[in-house]
Amino acid sequence: MDVSSSLQYLFSGLTVGATYGLTGLGFTIIFNTTGIINFAQGEFVMLGGMLAVICQSALGLPLPLAVLLAMLGATLIGAIVERVAIRPVRTAPPINLVIITIGISILIRSAMMLLWDKDTHTLPHFSGTDPITVLGATLMPQSLWILGITAVVLYGLRTFFRRSIFGKAMLACAHQRKAAWLVGIGVEGMVLLSFMISALVGAVGGVMLAPMTMTSYDVGILLGLKGFAACILGGLGNPFGAAAGGLAIGVLESFGAGMISSAYKDAFAFIILLLLLFVRPSGLFGKPEVRRV
């Protein structure tokens, strides 16, 4: 295999993988404050893309404004989900909460289908479609946008968790909810905040992926699965592990599709993930669970 085609696989893998990583990041943030896997995470990604499409094509807003409104809209929906469906039953067993998020994902998906339509849509590229050639491989400007925005989001979250009082409070909740509550942290508020942030992060991923891959009301299912795989691969609870896991899955898929078979590209990523879990049962960067003997 020559350099240019492997570079091509790497570019497309990293582009898609960045979105998986952002989705995985969303899973991780909610998992850290609540201990549940939010199956509606993929719908937040879908909302980002679809709300931007609605604002841009139906309301005729300029692209930057449409993107901003889509992100705000998804964040608002994240907050509503927490207030209406999660907070009233926060003491329920985790499996019940997971089933509730499954129901919510069905709700959001069918609401989007009813309010808008079943067609696939596309969003204009952020800055033109003239490909850049690097060592014989082509790179779309949108890919650079995706990688750049992902880096900004990661850096922003890192600063948020390290520097801001809210970020530190959220980390405290992730570490020990009861202790966080005892030192005066409003755990409920932090859960609300975590839903808003992960909806926002998901929507960012959806908005920037939409120009590359098209979007429709049901893209959230597959993206959600990939995001879940990303945060498990990176080690559940570690936001940067999730981002790295997403990139790894994207690259694996891309090389699998290019070198082995495009039909089996999804299977390829999952087989690697399973094999890795058998060797490292807590993912790449997860804390190995204390072996209880």
Partner 1 sequence: MIVSRLASGALLPVGAFLATMLAVPFLLPNPYYLSILSLACMNAITAVGLNMLLGFAGQISLGHAAFCGLAAYATGIATATYGLPMWGSFLLAIGLVALVALLVGMPTLKLTGHYLAMGTLGFGIIVYIVFNESIEWTGGPSGMVGIPRLALFGHELWEDTEYYHLVTGVLCLVLLLSLNLIHSRFGRALKAIHTSEKAAMCIGVDIARYKLFVFVLSAVYAGIAGFLYAHYLGFIAPSSFGFHVSVQLVVMVVLGGMCSVWGAVAGAFFLTMLPEFLRVFENVETLIYGGILVFCMMFMPQGIVGGIGTLFRVLRRSFRPEAVSAQTGEERNG
**Positions in the binding site for partner 1 (CB under 8 A):** 31, 37, 39, 85, 88-89, 92-93, 95-96, 99-100, 102-107, 109-111, 113-114, 221, 225, 228-229, 232, 236, 263-264, 266-267, 270-271, 273-274, 277-278, 281-283, 289, 292-293
In 3D space, the residue among 141, 143, 126, 152 whose CA is nearest the CA of residue 62 turns out to be 126
Name the residue nearer to partner 1 (CB basis): 163 or 292.
Answer: 292
CB of 97 to partner 1, least distance (A): 8
CB of 263 to partner 1, least distance (A): 5
Residue 260 phi, psi (nearest 5): -105, -70
Residue 210 phi, psi (nearest 5): -55, -40
Name the residue nearer to partner 1 (CB basis): 118 or 158.
Answer: 118
Name the residue nearer to partner 1 (CB basis): 11 or 31.
Answer: 31
User: Which token pair is 230?
Assistant: 């990303």
**Residues 29/194, Cβ–Cβ less than 8 Å:** yes
CB of 113 to partner 1, least distance (A): 8
Name the residue nearer to partner 1 (CB basis): 169 or 199.
Answer: 199
CB of 49 to partner 1, least distance (A): 20
CB of 108 to partner 1, least distance (A): 8
User: Which token pair is 116?
Assistant: 């808008």
Name the residue nearer to partner 1 (CB basis): 7 or 276.
Answer: 276
User: Which token pair is 207?
Assistant: 């908005």
CB of 286 to partner 1, least distance (A): 8
User: Which token pair is 60?
Assistant: 């005729």
How many Å apart are CA 41 and CA 93, to the nearest integer? 19
Name the residue nearer to partner 1 (CB basis): 155 or 264.
Answer: 264
Name the residue nearer to partner 1 (CB basis): 151 or 271.
Answer: 271
Burial class (CB in 10 A: 0-12, 13-18, 19+), 76: middle
Name the residue nearer to partner 1 (CB basis): 69 or 79.
Answer: 79
CB of 87 to partner 1, least distance (A): 11
CB of 105 to partner 1, least distance (A): 8
**Residues 266/258, Cβ–Cβ less than 8 Å:** no
